[in-house]
Amino acid sequence: MDVNEVPQDPKNFKGAENLKKLMYATDKDGKYTGVVSSGWEAENAATKQAWDDVDENLAKTEAQVRAGELSPIAYYMEKNLMELSLLAKYVGKWQWQVKRHFKPSVFNNMDATLLQKYADVFNITTEELKSFGK
Amino acid sequence: MSTNNFVHKQHAHCESGVTANLLTHHGLPISEPLAFGIGAGLFFAHIPFVKVSGTPGTTFRTWPGAIFKRVAERLEVKVHTEKFSNPQKANAALDMALEAGKPVGMLSSVFYLPYLPEAFRFHFNAHNLIAYGKENGLYNISDPILEDVATIDPEDLAKARFAKGTPEPKGFMYYINDIPKSVDFNKAIKAGIKQTCFFMLSPPLPWFGNKAIGLLAKKIKGYPTKLTPRKASLYLGNIIRMQEEIGTGGAGFRYLYAAFLQEASEMMKRDDLAQFSTELTKIGDDWRNFAYYAARQMKNRSGDIVSYDELSDLLNVCGTKEKDLFQRMQKIKW
């Protein structure tokens, strides 16, 4: 890639425009040099798609929490870009236990210590966790 | 406390960037491409059955930690590395090293680094950064992918260093203790190139090295019939991100490696390495071409079989050319 061909397509979402990264390209004598790039259309589209997917899933889960089908834990797990396996590691539980905590009936009877543990992992208060979707 | 005169320089990739900045600080000036090549950073793997955030794992680089370790070994630099059982011990050890005037490299999860834009903060646990001081309760951070230095709260840093998942950094930190009086760069370059050729050509399993490029090409051919259009788009998007998003220097580290070969050719006065560099630059352009069309296919989501076939062919071009290049490079008479 020629230094003049290094794309400068800014990524205008979620603060990405604030990060300009270094690319390696060749100058007119074929010598490699570092060039700062704002982004590239192809790569921007891929990043954007990954986030759109997250947002779409999150909206679905939020609706399910509001409808009383899932507990707020399912929502905050996705909001923190976690999968069941990762969340289970963070709270020190088995995956099937975390899955059980997705049930509103189980969540509503959760003891304060465990609730606090989840809130800490999600970086919110227990109040925020309990009241979400109400 | 602050390590004196630490100079932050932006690089393309976190680990080779940290390696270059640390060595340069300790009086052994080295470019990022040189660190990347000596550390044999270039690789390829596609492991369909290991899913990362729901998409098959693809990587263009060697495993985390390998670059720094190999560069240190090959240049006979004495380093200290340590893992910790808890954040308190990890932060205490970090403070002690900084008191002693040493900039410290660390593994971290990008998800817990507030100074990075949200767009890039996924659960990726193998990000390298340097702390070079502590002022007013905040650590001074040199993150090689950033143009400028940053700061971070000790609590946030502890979270980033003790992220869970795969891999788990467990507070891993490293710093340089001693630089040898003289360094044999030629020997180190040779070892690095030999290792890269070996890792690209020799793995007997289909998921690693050059073979895996062909495997991915084959898989892409099957996307329109085996996956929903949405899944196929996400899978393609993930390949593009691994190849181009932050930290590869373009074309999945191919340009960075070509820059290394060029620098090596000048240091060793070898025209053959310059020739390989020029060739790899062109192959890098082929990878970019693949990413360009993959992005178009991804946005279009039509599940058009012809396009997926074409993408697969574009990828096979990269794989075939690289195989030939590494086979010839492996036969270099040193």
**What is residue B114's predicted lDDT score, i.e. its pLDDT?**
96
HEC profile of A48-88: HHHHHHHHHHHHHHHHHHHCCCCCHHHHHHHHCCCCHHHHH
The residue type found at A101 is H
Distance from A98 to chain B by nearest Cα, in Å? 16
Instruction: Compare CB distances from B258 to A11, A16, A32 and report the shortest one's residue.
Output: A32
Instruction: Compare CB distances from B145 to A11, A21, A31 and report the shortest one's residue.
Output: A21
Confidence of residue B2 (pLDDT cuts 50, 70, 90): low
Strand partners, B152: B139
> To the nearest whole number, what is the mean pLDDT of chain A?
95
Confidence of residue A12 (pLDDT cuts 50, 70, 90): confident
Binary contact (B298, A51; C-beta < 8 A): no
**What is residue B316's predicted lDDT score, i.e. its pLDDT?**
97
Task: Note the pLDDT tens digit of each residue in B257-294.
Answer: 999 999 999 999 999 999 999 999 999 999 999 999 99
Average of per-residue pLDDT across A67-82: 97
CA dist A72 → A61, A116, B112 (Å): 9, 13, 22
Distance from B241 to chain A by nearest Cα, in Å? 6
Q: Does the pLDDT value for residue B300 go beyond 90? A: no
Distance from B316 to chain A by nearest Cα, in Å? 20
The residue type found at B303 is G
Binary contact (B240, A89; C-beta < 8 A): no
Enumerate the residues of chain B whose CB falls inside 8 A of the CB of residue A26: 281
Instruction: Compare CB distances from B298 to A6, A49, A89 and report the shortest one's residue.
Output: A49
ipTM above 0.85, yes or no: yes
Please give the domain boundaries of chain B with CATH numbers for all domains.
Answer: 14-30+78-178 (3.90.70.10), 185-330 (1.20.120)
**What is residue A133's predicted lDDT score, i.e. its pLDDT?**
84
**What is residue B51's predicted lDDT score, i.e. its pLDDT?**
85
Enumerate the residues of chain A whose CB falls inside 8 A of the CB of residue B240: 42-43, 45-46
Q: Does the pLDDT value for residue A61 go beyond 90? A: yes
Average of per-residue pLDDT across B125-143: 96
Distance from A29 to chain B by nearest Cα, in Å? 12
Q: CA-CA distance, A127 to B184, in Å (whole number)?
A: 61
Closest residue on chain B to A121 (Cα): B159
Instruction: Compare CB distances from B119 to A14, A30, A45 and report the shortest one's residue.
Output: A14
Domain borders along chain A are: 3-39, 52-131
Binary contact (B299, A86; C-beta < 8 A): no
Q: CA-CA distance, B72 to B107, in Å (whole number)?
A: 17
- CA B56, chain centre distance (Å): 18
Enumerate the residues of chain A whose CB falls inside 8 A of the CB of residue B281: 1, 26
- Please tell me what DSSP assigns to residue B208: B
With residue B315 as reference, give the H or E element that holds it: helix B305-330
Average of per-residue pLDDT across B71-95: 97
CATH number of A52-131: 1.10.260
Q: Does the pLDDT value for residue B303 go beyond 70? A: no
Task: Note the pLDDT tens digit of each residue in B222-243.
Answer: 999 999 999 999 999 999 999 9
Task: Note the pLDDT tens digit of each residue in B177-209.
Answer: 999 999 999 999 999 999 999 999 999 999 999
Percent of chain A with pLDDT over 90: 93
**What is residue B3's predicted lDDT score, i.e. its pLDDT?**
61
A113 by Cβ neighbours in 10 Å (0-12 / 13-18 / 19+) ranks as exposed
Residue B2 dihedral angles phi and psi, to the nearest 5°: -155, 145
Distance from A97 to chain B by nearest Cα, in Å? 18
Average of per-residue pLDDT across B152-169: 94
Closest residue on chain B to A52 (Cα): B234
Q: Does the pLDDT value for residue A31 go beyond 80? A: yes
Which tokens is A1 given? 């890639």
